[in-house]
Amino acid sequence: MRIALFADIHGNRQALEACLAHAARHGAERLVFLGDIVGYGGDPAWCVAQVMQAVAAGAVALGGNHDAALTAGSGGLNSVAAAAIDWTRMTLSAEAVAFLAELPLESAEEDRLYVHADASDPGAWNYVLNAEDARRSLDATMARVTICGHVHVPRLYGLSDAAKLTVFRPPGNEAVPLLRRRRWLAVLGAVGQPRDGDPAACYGMLETEEPTLTWARVPYDVEAAAAAIRAAGLPEPLAARLALGR
């Protein structure tokens, strides 16, 4: 089965449209959304509607910290992120807010665990930034493959039978084998706000039969996404950073 994995959409309609279309062209049979559907971007209502429609058709969707901030409050976010959440809260329908509030923080499927942040404490929203973080997350689950978002920078961690942890920077648009003799933690890049220096949207395509994971990089209309942020009156850095991938 081919599973398309989307993390950190952040209200970016143009990026999500491009990634969904790319996934469909490349034979995705299942969709999984790993949280932070809203925040930062200028089209949160459209993005939430797309995820709600996908969930109604059988997709998996998780909540992220920006989604949770709509109801829990934006006190844990920086001032720019908080401004976007406060605006998003006023923009979304009650139905959309309720949908986001009810999303689970993790989901297990066969030998895989999906989670937005660190699997050892999903609701603490800890980042997986290095080998130590990855080991803590892997130690918290028996899943052979854990897939998360939250960091906005693609990474892959492999844990051998001898407990040796290796860190990989996965190439874009190349299938990376997930050898069965290891356990894996894959950190997806962001659909809506990449931060690895590449402005192209990023999502994952998992092939489960002979396990591989591809970090697909998809160009999209960055200027239109930035224009939506500016039209909403959101802080300028949220628009400017999209072209930089930072």
Q: What is the pLDDT of residues 183-224, one digit of tens each?
A: 999 999 999 999 999 999 999 999 999 899 999 999 999 999
Q: Over the stretch 7-55, which tens digit does the pLDDT of each residue have?
A: 999 999 999 999 999 999 999 999 999 999 999 999 999 999 999 999 9
What's the 3-state SS for 51-88?
HHHHHHCCCEECCCHHHHHHHHCCCCCCHHHHHHHHHH
* Mean pLDDT, rounded, of the chain: 96
Percent of the chain with pLDDT over 70: 100
| pLDDT of res. 76 | 81
Overall pTM surpassing 0.75 (yes/no) = yes
Tell me if 39 sits within 8 A of 224, measured CB to CB. no
Query: Is the CB of residue 182 less than 8 Å from the CB of residue 5?
Result: no
pLDDT of residue 119: 97
Domain spans in the chain, listed from the N-terminal domain onward:
2-243
What number is the average pLDDT over the span 227-233?
97
Quick: pLDDT tens for 78-123: 999 999 999 999 999 999 999 999 999 999 999 999 999 999 999 9
May I ask the CATH class of domain 2-243? alpha beta
Distance CA 132, CA 137 (A): 9
